[in-house]
A and B are shown apart, each in its own frame.
Chain A
Amino acid sequence: DIQMTQSPSSLSASVGDRVTITCRASQSISNFLNWYQQKPGKAPKLLIYAASSLQSGVPSRFSGSGSGTDFTLTISSLQPEDCATYYCQQSYSSPSITFGQGTRLEIK
């Protein structure tokens, strides 16, 4: 199985801050990496697919980068509505996929 490890597990930032979340795969997964946002009581929402492609309708302040084993989700200017938990997910071995453990983002 491909293991996905996110860091940090949680973070707190202020409105307007630049926020970075990292995800590391246990083996090379090329660009088969997706990012999701989940708010309390809601289903996850796709933000980024193929490591850096922005899903339709997602604000441009979200961006993704990386390839191989190391990936990054960046929010360029944090907004109050970005308070959520963020998950990375590898699709290299799709349909057998795995998620990272999640990063909880709080607004100061």
Chain B
Amino acid sequence: QLQLQESGPGLVKPSETLSLTCFVSGGSISNEIHYWSWIRQSPGTGLEWIGSIYYSGNAYYNPSLKHRVTISVDTSKKHFSLRMSSLTAADTAVYYCAREMGTVEGLYFMDVWGKGATVTVSS
């Protein structure tokens, strides 16, 4: 069955750029109707959608983060990645990758999640 695994540094300095990768196993990353997404959760708070990417490379971003975020996909290596620049302490969070499954009826829901990567922004 499909599994997702986040990989990246646990500690990043303020003003630097965060790079996270989500590895996809047990299934295809090139499905035509699924999106691959990044979601984060700051300590003690709710879930915030960061952005999503289609296997073709079309990416969509949260307007509040768009100026700092780039999501890319490498179908040959079966992974997708997040880059977030100009980090501050407010970016300290658990970062999740997830599959946003699509159906022929046009429904979308996040049915597979990674375990999450804890990222702390501190000098």
Contact = CB atoms under 8 A, between A and B. Distances in A.
B49 A43 contact: no
A55 B103 CA distance: 13
Interface in A39-62: 42-46, 49-50, 55
Given A46-B109, A95-B37, A101 B46 contact: yes
Nearest to A43: B113
Given A50-B107, A95-B100, A43 B46 contact: no
Interface in B79-123: 96, 98, 100, 102, 105, 107-111, 113-116
Interface string A86-108: 01010100111111111000000
Q: Which of A1, A32, A43, A98: most chain B Cβ within 10 A?
A: A43
A72 interface: no
Residues of B in contact with A, size category = 20 to 34
Interface residues of A, number: 24
Nearest to A55: B111
B26 interface: no
A100 B111 contact: no
Interface of B: 35, 37, 46-49, 51-52, 60, 62-63, 96, 98, 100, 102, 105, 107-111, 113-116
